[in-house]
Amino acid sequence: MIVPRRGFYVNSEQLATARKNIATHPWARRAFKQIETDCDQFLTKWSEEDLYACVLSMHGQTFAYGITGCPHCRKPFPFSGDAERAMFSRFPAKTVTCPSCKTVLPDATYTDEGVGLERNGIGYYPIGMWNFYTAGHLLGGVRDHEGMVTKLVWLYMLTHNEHYARRAAVILDAFAAIYPGTIGPRDFTPFGSTKEMGRLHLLTSIVYRVKVLLAHDYDWLYHLSELNEPSPARALLGLPGTMRDNIEVMLRDYLLTEPGGPEYDLTGGNLTELHNHEADGVRAMLAVGLVLEEPDYLKWGIRASDVFLANALGRDGMYFEGSYGYSMFTGTVLLDMSLLSMRADTAQTASHPFGSYRFFQFAVENPLGLLCQGHLPCYGDWGQDRSNSPTPDPKTMADAYRAALHFYTFSPDDALRNRAAERLCSLYSLAEERLGSKGLDLFLSHPEPHQTASFSLPTSSTFTGQAGILAGRDGTGTTILMRVGPNYTHSHDDILGLSYYAYGKEISADVGYSSYGTNGHYGWTTHSIAHNTVVVNGDRTMKRGQLYKPCTGGTLSFLYEKDGITMFEGSAPNLYGVNAYERAVAIVPLGASSYVLDLFYISGAATCDYTFRAFHEKAELSLATDKIRSTNTPWTLAGVDASRHLYYDAPGQSFGERLTTGETFQPLCKGERAQGWTPEPNNGYGFIHDMQEYKKPADSILQADWVSDQGHTLAWYGLLTGNERIWTGAYPTLDGREKHPVLIVRGTGATMQYVAVFCTRKTKQPPELSHIRQLSTRGVQVTALAVMHESGLIDFWVYSPIRQTMIVQTRFGEWRVTGRCAMVRTNRQGKIVRADCITADEMLFQGIHFEGVHRITSTITDIDYTKRAIRITPPLPVSGNSGYVRIARSSDAQASIYPVEHVQTEVDAAVFILRDDLILSKGTVTSYSRGTLHTTDPLPLAASLTGKIIRGSQGGYGIILAIPSPKSIRIQSENPFSAGETFDIIDIESGFQVEWL
């Protein structure tokens, strides 16, 4: 029987679980057979001598992804699948064949002695690419952390065949010999730079992702007698040492800090910002600490795990970084970290990570609750969403399933284990096709196939109260995603921007993200103008290198859901420092599809640019109005009303036209750099080119149609209310290979109200939306319109950013509304079909009086923070039109919004069980003086903590005024804090007011 040294990732008892899975589950049998086939073929193709020769040939050479593409044809290389594998020669040759132009690199024209070549200021690394691909295959890499070495170890564990173990040891020994002193892939530094960016082919934190598995491999190979013998790899390099010493040096190297990545140092248990890089560092520290028995690493890692779950995750279970894709990835990191921390904490000195409700919400519940027609939410730094299916995203399903599996296997909390079991049964069939792609899948207990249940996509809206992410859904499943929360790392500047999902597609065509720090990333895709939003004053305050505006976020003003219609409003005036910056959106079923009403109100700006785009695929945009014929039309959006000549405001010179493979510019103009460069002004306007200006229609109704080559049409109707100017332009994808049309409507004046209605349909189907008409109104800043259905139904809408009595003239008589927003639907004869007092107290139409929900405010009398329960006494709030409550110190104070799990009614009181934690973050005081508190633990959610309560375990109490750095808090103190005092940051306390949202 073989045993590991520690069994920290998989222990000996789990071998029986794996064998049961292989006997029970078809996916497990297939996975085992695939691992067995891969390993047996590997043993046949690669001798020990070949492995040493291959790996040692990389010594002193570069490693590179190859993101700049082919130097000959300039086209990008594929980065996955058979197309990528076919590019690379078999050792001892080290060549790359471009699949586009068939050039074999390096050659006489493009010579590479192992350090790459430079053409027109851009670096290319053919041999580096070969090294990168081969090292990833053998050791594990960016796309698959489990290389051949780990697969060999999995098979050794299951078969006890030492042939697999010995070959795995050879791979570890060979790479360990060349590992120290390598500087990581070269794609993200200027050509010729020696800046340290990782190790071997592994970029910064990816070193740590792979290192966890290498530590696991060494754990199970630990007792091999060969490891005590001299290292053949070191001997070939003329160096002494055993294989064991060689491998352990590699495991200890590039640990605790991350040269080339974000600055942090885990020494002494120090934590810096709690971002995903630091999380990777912690899990690697734990893995190395476990296998090499380093007690300090374990102590620091156990505490770090506890802090990450308390402070990097919000009370809504949302990870703080501004991209949900990064959140999903970080979930896999925190699961590993928690597993390793649990193994290390044999004395149970910390809270059990899998007993955390917040962690469960983050890893299991939120990924399912935020699905947008089956798609992972697309915002911030994450790839484009070009899927055309409403079927739940298989990767997301598998990730949520694996997270539930960890809680089901390891949680000490029976309620959490039961919830995890329910999720496992509902997700099993959706995750099954991906199970076995990670070796750990084999070693955890899964539900029996006959125990599975069905999974349903969410049908009501979802709002995350601290992160401020809203997924609004109507009766047809049409979904609008809007962000009102703060800007953090990996955010894009898209607060109040819209992501629009219909027909199983992300219609709104978010440009996305590919590589950090490129010209396309820094200068284009992060900026507001690259999103469906309104840009104020041309974003001219953006400085060079700035990715987004600092913003603590806005608020969700209301959320209305009734009989299929959903409407909501977000407000974020602090994004631009204006009086008002508000967007209200309604999603309304329209037969087989739905239309979206988009109302964007701005006050206090000089200029406002409303932008809209549709479809990732090729699409034609046409406007039902004439072009303005002029020889003076600027070429780029940046050139409109420019005060000086811009060198890039000319055909062929715009950034959008020159953006190319590698997200750089070709050619580079004077003063530009190949990477990390932004223009001045840094607003992205220079990427939008081929500007065409249009006349304002006589009836002030602008119609625009996008027709995609995949058979869909988006019809957009805009109600023009002032002296707007209208343009179309073209914008690039990140690699510049595609150009897509965009609509821009510029408004000026002290206040600006944009009104649009849009709807997507299959092109071959007749339209269900006919047109819109403006209605006459009385009131202040009132907008009213009629949305005409082809069926003859008419939706009358009225909206104002301020509460008042509004009078609207319709074809069927006067409509009087008291409040802010309402809708009435009639048939063509004027018979009322439905009436919605959305944010109206009451309304009168055709002599019929309609009453809205009268808001009743109650007071919290008691709070149980551990049970997420608040007790209130009469008057009890009347249930609103959503499952959320607004809680604030007073009616005019900043409010927090919480989802309600259920309500327990009593004789003279009610207890609301909330879905979110009531504690936001925590820490320990290191010092306190003159209103400034310093804490041991970073507070990465700082932007959402201003104004919150900080309450110490020894009586310290105050209100947070600001958090100027991750470990420093400025407080308006009522009771002072003491060094060593632990504290909680909380959202609510007794005496606060509650009402339904």
Q: What pTM was estimated for this model as a whole?
A: 0.95
For residue 652, count other CB atoms closer than 10 A to its CB: 9
Q: What pLDDT sits at residue 881?
A: 67
Which DSSP string corresponds to 364-396? IIHHHHT-BTTBPP--SS---------SPPHHH
Q: What pLDDT sits at residue 341?
A: 98
- Percent of the chain scored above 70 by pLDDT? 99
C-beta separation of 592 from 762 below 8 A? no
C-beta separation of 739 from 728 below 8 A? no
Which pLDDT band holds residue 378 (cuts at 50, 70, 90)? confident
- Residue 384: φ, ψ to 5°: -60, 150
**pLDDT tens for each residue of 17-47:** 999 999 999 999 999 999 999 999 999 999 9
Q: What does the domain layout of the chain look like in residue ranges?
A: 471-770, 775-854, 857-914, 919-996
Which of 263, 700, 322, 375 has the alpha carbon at shortest distance from 491?
322
- Report the C-alpha gap between 490 and 330 in whole angstroms: 13
Mean pLDDT score of the chain: 95
Query: In this structure, what token pair is assigned to residue 210?
Result: 């792979």
pLDDT at 308 over 70: yes
Which of 147, 141, 144, 166 has the alpha carbon at shortest distance from 156?
166
Say yes or no: do domains 471-770 and 919-996 share a fold: no
SS (H, E, C) 249-313: HHHHCCCCECCCCCCCECHHHCCCCCCHHHHHHHHHHHHHHHHHCCHHHHHHHHHHHHHHHHHHE
Describe the crossing of helices 126-139 and 48-56 by its angle, rounded to 10 degrees. Answer: 140
- Report the C-alpha gap between 680 and 545 in whole angstroms: 10
Q: Which residues touch 603 (CB under 8 Å, ≥6 apart)?
A: 578, 579, 580, 750, 751, 752, 801
Q: Say if domain 919-996 classifies as CATH 3.40.50.150.
A: no
**pLDDT tens for each residue of 742-757:** 999 999 999 999 999 9
Query: In this structure, what token pair is assigned to residue 811?
Result: 């074809």
**pLDDT tens for each residue of 151-206:** 999 999 999 999 999 999 999 999 999 999 999 999 999 999 999 999 999 999 99
- Report the C-alpha gap between 617 and 864 in whole angstroms: 52
C-beta separation of 52 from 118 below 8 A? no
Q: What pLDDT sits at residue 79?
A: 86
Cα–chain-centroid distance for residue 20?
36
Q: Residue 11, SS3?
A: coil
- Report the C-alpha gap between 430 and 371 in whole angstroms: 14
Q: N- to C-terminal Cα distance for the chain?
A: 61
Averaged pLDDT for residues 768-793: 97
C-beta separation of 769 from 737 below 8 A? no
**pLDDT tens for each residue of 280-293:** 999 999 999 999 99
Which pLDDT band holds residue 150 (cuts at 50, 70, 90)? very high
Q: What pLDDT sits at residue 865?
A: 94
Averaged pLDDT for residues 854-881: 87
- Report the C-alpha gap between 499 and 509 in whole angstroms: 8
- Residue 650: φ, ψ to 5°: -155, 150
- Report the C-alpha gap between 609 and 527 in whole angstroms: 13
Q: What pLDDT sits at residue 319?
A: 97
Averaged pLDDT for residues 632-654: 94
pLDDT at 452 over 90: no
Q: What pLDDT sits at residue 362?
A: 98
- Residue 24: φ, ψ to 5°: -100, -40
pLDDT at 880 over 70: no
Residue type, 224: L
Pair type for strands 896-905 and 910-914 = antiparallel
Averaged pLDDT for residues 329-339: 97
Q: Which of 113-122, 538-547, 852-861, 974-983 has the lowest mean pLDDT?
A: 852-861
Question: Assign residue 565 a region: left if phi > 0, alpha if psi is -120 to 50, beta otherwise?
Answer: beta
- Which residues face 558 on adjacent strands? 569
Third-level CATH fold of 471-770: Beta-galactosidase; Chain A, domain 5 (2.70.98)
- Report the C-alpha gap between 417 and 442 in whole angstroms: 20
Query: In this structure, what token pair is assigned to residue 710?
Result: 């995949």
- Report the C-alpha gap between 687 and 636 in whole angstroms: 7
Q: What pLDDT sits at residue 455?
A: 92
- Percent of the chain scored above 90 by pLDDT? 92
Q: What pLDDT sits at residue 458?
A: 94
**pLDDT tens for each residue of 528-575:** 999 999 999 999 999 999 999 999 999 999 999 999 999 999 999 999
Averaged pLDDT for residues 933-938: 97
List, in sequence order, every beta strand (DSSP E) within 606-656: 607-612, 619-623
Burial of 680-692, coded b for 16+ CB within 10 Å and e otherwise, reads ebbbbbbbbbbbe
Q: Which residues touch 682 (CB under 8 Å, ≥6 apart)?
A: 523, 527, 542, 543, 544, 545, 546
